[in-house]
Amino acid sequence: MELLEQRILDEGIVLPGNVLKVDSFLNHQIDPKLSMAMGKELVRLFDGTKIDRVLTVEASGIAIGLTTAFVLGVPLVFARKKSSVLMTEPVYMEKVYSYTKKESAEITVLQKFLPAGENVLLVDDFLANGEAALGMARIVEKAGSEVVGIGIAIEKSFQNGHKRILDAGYHLEALASVASLDDGKVTFVR
Ligand code: 5GP
């Protein structure tokens, strides 16, 4: 997606450890117009796939998850990373190792928001090692539903997640695929 790639080139900052900082439009400040364009593009990429629900992880997945779900006309559910006193009902929980925080977290979804027998699209802002996406996939499958796709804003194709997700047999689409962050420079897959 050219619009997204251009924003990454204009505003992205490469941090040590192969981390791309895009907090001016995706991870802290959010550009609503770009988020809507990204949601529309994800829906186009999964055209022909029946989708009942979108699942993402708080916090950075919510903007793109919301626009995707809005265009599809289906609910968005976000997995929580911290337990809350509001989670008083049965939950699905999976351990996920955070690439940016370097610690394990339990992602949690109330069972009532993931009914069985649905087709669920997973959405997230970044794909690095695939931990968040595969954790969400395990939750959906525990719930008795099917993961019909994984839609990512920015995938770092040189890390493990891309291969792990394809090896697991999921349909993966990314709006921008980063081939390298070497020498502080963003290069896209062509
Ligand atoms: P994974 O679970 O695929 O290893 O990592 C994806 C998660 O870690 C995303 O939800 C995202 O929040 C965070 N993440 C991974 N790599 C990056 C990155 O380069 N930049 C930012 N901003 N977040 C990242």
The predicted-structure confidence for 107-150, as pLDDT tens digits, reads as follows 999 999 999 999 999 999 999 999 999 999 999 999 999 999 99
Query: 39 is written with which tokens?
Result: 């949601």
SS3 state of residue 156: strand
pLDDT at residue 86, as a whole number: 76
Mutate to test the pocket of ligand 1, among 55, 97, 126 (most ligand atoms within 8 A of CB): 126
pLDDT of res. 133 = 98
Which pair of structure tokens corresponds to residue 172?
A: 């993966």
How much of the chain is helix, strand and coil, in % rounded to 5?
30, 30, 35
Round to whole Å and give the CA distance between 142 and 157. Answer: 28
pLDDT of residue 52: 98
Q: What is the pLDDT of residues 36-60, one digit of tens each?
A: 999 999 999 999 999 999 999 999 9
Q: Helix axis angle, 32-45 relative to 2-11, nearest 10°?
A: 140
- Asked if residue 52 lies in contact with residue 77, where contact means CB atoms within 8 angstroms, the answer is no
Q: In sequence order, what are the residues at sequence separation of 6 or more whose Cβ sits closer than 8 angstroms to the Cβ of residue 145?
A: 52, 53, 114, 115, 116, 117, 118, 119, 120
Is 87's pLDDT higher than 80?
A: no
CA-nearest of 58, 50, 91, 90 to 74 is 50
d(CA 39, ligand 1 centre) in Å: 18
Ligand 1 atom closest to residue 132's alpha carbon, by position in its atom list: 2
Q: What is the DSSP string of 37-62?
A: HHHHHHHHHTTT---SEEEEETTTTH
pTM recorded for the entire structure: 0.97
- Output the six-digit token pair for 158: 């040189």
Contacts of 79 (CB under 8 A, 6+ apart): 55, 56, 57, 58, 107, 108, 109, 135, 136, 139
Q: Give the ranges where the chain is alpha helix by DSSP (H).
A: 2-11, 32-45, 62-72, 131-142, 160-167
Rounded to whole angstroms, how far apart are CA atoms 55 and 72?
13
Ligand 1: which of 99, 104, 129, 160 to mutate, most ligand atoms within 8 Å of CB?
A: 99
Measure 143 CA to ligand 1 centroid, in angstroms.
25
